[in-house]
Amino acid sequence: MTTVLKLGGELLEDAAGVATAAAAIVRLSVRTPLVVVHGGGRAIDAELRARGEEPRFVDGLRVTDGPALEAAVSVLAGRTNTTLVAALGAAGVRAVGLTGADGPVGLSSQADSFRTVSGETVDLGLVGEPCATDMTLLRDLLGLGYVPVVASIGVTRRGELLNVNADTLAGHLAAALGAAELLIAGGTPGVLTADEQPIAQLSRDDMDAMIAAGTAHSGMLAKLAACRVALDGGVTHVSIVSGRDASDYAEAAGTRILEGLLATSPGHAQGGSSTAGRRPEGTA
């Protein structure tokens, strides 16, 4: 059964981070068919600033105008994806670099552009929401022993590129592929309590309550929403874990999301007991 691994862009910011991620992917790929989805939020931020633009986020989603989309495509489909695929190849992994426009595995519709924040209506711009599509390309590559590495760029039926949150795309692909496992690896070890301790297990009800109550916010909101999509699609093992070391991501410190009604965890996360949000990684 397939595993979908989402790598946060913060794990791929330099050569050491890419090498660490590649080592972890090697370990995963020898035991399970694997699809990797990656973001690149901070690299996109840096690219935008180099172009004289300031990044903006709403609910963890990047406000994506024309220049922001151009920067996202350049960074994700170009530098980040190619660098990771090259590192995997050097480590002996048969990796194939893709974007959501290939296949198209990331077929998307333009998301509702407008959000109300503090009484102000904000236009998110060119942000995509993945929709049902053909997984033949990914299934064929997996069947041939390849590891698809997908940059989080979406495409409409009219061929228009859109910026898609990498967590969102990973959750969608896990559900569409009927994957056994979704691993979301990032810079923090899962959902954290108010005193910065990772919550080992979080029930589906707890997760939904956090989303509804607004205690999950910024980048963590998108991660929890992706977990919900995966669970709804029948994925049985869903986790948000630390990606900071090359140990087995499947055993890394983090939060396991359970379908059951009760989670046993240090810092049971109902209502406001969690700090489930950090600096927005944003839409890729």
CA–CA distance, 37 with 6 (Å, rounded to integer): 5
- The reported pTM is 0.89
Find the catalytic residue in 8, 17, 39, 41.
41
Active site residue 41: yes
CA distances from 199 to 7, 82, 220, 241, 261 (A): 20, 34, 13, 10, 16
Name the burial class of residue 38, with classes exposed (0-12), middle (13-18) and buried (19+) by CB atoms within 10 angstroms of its CB.
Answer: buried
Find the catalytic residue in 100, 167, 186, 282.
167
Find the catalytic residue in 45, 103, 223, 254.
223
pLDDT < 50 regions, the chain: 262-275, 277-282
Segments in the chain forming alpha helices (H)? 15-29, 41-50, 66-73, 81-90, 136-143, 166-177, 204-213, 218-232
Question: 214: how many CB neighbours lie within 10 A of its CB?
Answer: 12
CATH number of 3-258: 3.40.1160.10
User: What pLDDT does residue 118 have?
Assistant: 59
User: What pLDDT does residue 246 have?
Assistant: 67
11 near 27, Cβ under 8 Å? no
User: What pLDDT does residue 83 have?
Assistant: 97
User: What pLDDT does residue 207 have?
Assistant: 85
Active site residue 272: no
Find the catalytic residue in 6, 17, 45, 128.
6
Find the catalytic residue in 8, 9, 97, 243.
9
Domain limits, the chain: 3-258
Active site residue 45: no
